């Protein structure tokens, strides 16, 4: 009992130490930001307090809420469609050699193209409308998720699949209960990385082509030399990227942590 209490105390101390190590650099950064902004006395580098005031003003007039809702909707639709299609194509290639030989060369050619490299072409094909950022986000999510899904399935050891089939498991049972669970670390890696990348994509698309959203708010702030609003948008972008990535990290641990 004494040893258990000692272990629990040590664990709590380690958690507290880790939390302090995480918070200390952030706190130091925020304090230095405020001091540097107050010292500079220029609108081109506002202190943290001015940025917080700008955030409150954007909340009160409704501009920020409209922008974040518009961006969030585009991200959600494009990411769900793109990742779902990527999972489907990656699974098909992973379990069917003919499909892999047919589709993998095409995906290998298109995958290295930067997502924003598609923007001029999609502007001509789709036009400047709500479908444009959704299409860009679809592309951003599709290729990495499909490639990571294929890689994860290919890394599943053949003896596990043979053992399942020897025990009488059907192809569908083997896929859902052997192949996909063992490929899930790679799959979740693709989903997690792209969940943050799609936010960068939608912001860039809105900056260049769409008059609403956080990206459009950024461009409007730049034209008015409102650096405080620009910093608000950048902080929000950072928080959204981190939140999406952490959600998938939590989902991965919740889904695969028990048996990994």
Domain boundaries, the chain: 54-256
Contacts of 81 (CB under 8 A, 6+ apart): 134, 138, 141
Angle, to 10 degrees, between the axis of helix 214-223 and the axis of helix 227-256? Answer: 160
pLDDT tens sequence across 40-90:
888 888 888 898 898 888 888 888 888 888 889 999 999 999 999 999 999
Among the listed residues 240, 231, 227, 194, the one whose alpha carbon sits nearest the alpha carbon of residue 70: 240
pLDDT, greater one: 91 or 257:
91
41 three-state secondary structure: coil
Inter-axis angle of helices 131-154 and 63-95, nearest 10: 40
pLDDT class for 19, splitting at 50, 70, 90?
A: low
pLDDT of amino acid 135:
92
Q: How far is Cα 66 from Cα 214, in angstroms, rounded to an integer?
A: 9
Q: How sure is the predictor about 13, in pLDDT bands with cuts at 50, 70 and 90? A: low
What would the two tokens of residue 225 be? 């030399």
Question: In whole angstroms, how far apart are CA 33 and each of 23, 79, 153?
Answer: 15, 34, 46
Distance CA 104, CA 206 (A): 31
Start-to-end CA span in the chain (Å): 30
> Quick one: pLDDT at residue 11?
60
For the chain, give the percent of residues with pLDDT over 90: 13
The tokens of 229 are what? Answer: 């609003």
Q: How confident is the model at residue 15 (pLDDT cuts 50, 70, 90)?
A: low
CATH of domain 54-256: 1.10.3720.10
Confidence of residue 12 (pLDDT cuts 50, 70, 90): low
pLDDT, one tens digit per residue, over 181-237 is 888 888 888 888 888 888 888 888 888 777 788 888 888 888 888 898 999 988 888
Per DSSP, which regions of 126-256 are E strands? Answer: none
Reduced to 3 states, what is the DSSP secondary structure of residue 166? Answer: helix
Highest-pLDDT range among 7-11, 124-128, 250-254: 124-128
Task: State yes or no: pLDDT of 136 exceeds 60.
Answer: yes
Q: Quick one: pLDDT at residue 7?
A: 57
Q: What is the pLDDT of residue 184?
A: 85
Cβ 147 vs Cβ 111: under 8 Å: yes
Reply yes or no on whether the pLDDT at 114 is more than 70.
yes
Task: Give me the chain's average pLDDT, please.
Answer: 84
Beta strands in the chain (DSSP E): none
183 within 8 A of 125, measured Cβ to Cβ: no
Is residue 129 over pLDDT 80? yes
């Amino acid at each position: 009992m004494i040893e258990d209490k000692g272990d629990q105390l040590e664990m709590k101390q380690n958690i507290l130490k880790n939390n302090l190590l995480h918070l200390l650099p952030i706190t130091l950064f925020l304090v230095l930001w405020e001091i540097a902004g107050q010292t500079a006395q220029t609108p081109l580098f506002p202190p943290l307090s001015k940025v917080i005031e700008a955030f409150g003003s954007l909340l009160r007039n409704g501009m920020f809420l409209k922008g974040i809702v518009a961006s969030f909707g585009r991200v959600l639709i494009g990411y769900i469609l793109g990742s779902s299609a990527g999972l489907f194509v990656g699974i098909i290639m992973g379990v069917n050699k003919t499909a892999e030989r047919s589709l993998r060369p095409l995906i290998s050619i298109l995958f290295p193209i930067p997502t924003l490299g598609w923007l001029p072409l999609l502007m001509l094909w789709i036009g400047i409308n709500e479908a444009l950022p959704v299409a860009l986000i679809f592309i951003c999510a599709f290729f990495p998720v499909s490639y990571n899904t294929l890689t994860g399935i290919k890394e599943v050891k053949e003896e596990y699949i043979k053992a399942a089939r020897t025990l009488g498991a059907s192809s569908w049972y083997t896929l859902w209960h052997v192949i996909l669970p063992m490929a899930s670390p790679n799959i979740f890696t693709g989903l997690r990385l792209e969940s943050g990348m799609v936010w960068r994509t939608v912001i860039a698309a809105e900056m260049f082509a769409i008059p609403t959203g956080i990206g459009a708010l950024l461009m409007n702030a730049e034209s008015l030399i409102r650096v405080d609003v620009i910093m608000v948008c950048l902080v929000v972008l950072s928080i959204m990227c981190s939140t999406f990535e952490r959600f998938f990290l939590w989902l991965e641990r919740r889904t695969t942590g028990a048996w990994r």
